[in-house]
Amino acid sequence: GAVVSQHPSWVICKSGTSVKIECRSLDFQATTMFWYRQFPKQSLMLMATSNEGSKATYEQGVEKDKFLINHASLTLSTLTVTSAHPEDSSFYICSVETGTGGEQYFGPGTRLTVT
């Protein structure tokens, strides 16, 4: 598998501010990383696919100008939630895909609370 870290593990911010979440692949060079969001008692929803050295691919309904993704190296992708609002409060999880089967390994997640 792959070891993935995220920072911070939790963050509280005020409405209107921006928050940056880092996702690091510690033992695997990831040209692609994935960003998911999970609301309480719901499943994971893919937000975007982060591509090293190029633009991210966003899922339908996800605002690319609100959720800025930068994948500047093979080990780091960042997600910036801009002008956060209370409805953006969620559990944000990144993952990398390894292996021939395409299994994904997840970071520990970042819990964002917007007040």
Candidate list 11, 13, 46, 76; residue touching another protein; CB under 8 A: 46
Query: Would you count residue 42 as binding another protein (CB under 8 A)?
Result: yes
Residue whose tokens read 């993704």: 69
How many C-beta atoms lie closer than 10 Å to residue 48's C-beta? 22
Residue closer to another protein (CB basis): 18 or 103: 103
Piece in contact with another protein (CB under 8 A), picked from 22-30, 68-76, 81-89, 103-111: 103-111
Candidate list 22, 49, 82, 89; residue touching another protein; CB under 8 A: 49
DSSP letter, residue 59: P
Query: Would you count residue 105 as binding another protein (CB under 8 A)?
Result: yes
Query: Would you count residue 44 as binding another protein (CB under 8 A)?
Result: yes
94: left (phi over 0), alpha (psi -120 to 50) or beta: beta
Residues making contact with another protein (CB under 8 A) = 1, 34, 42-46, 49, 93, 101-109, 111
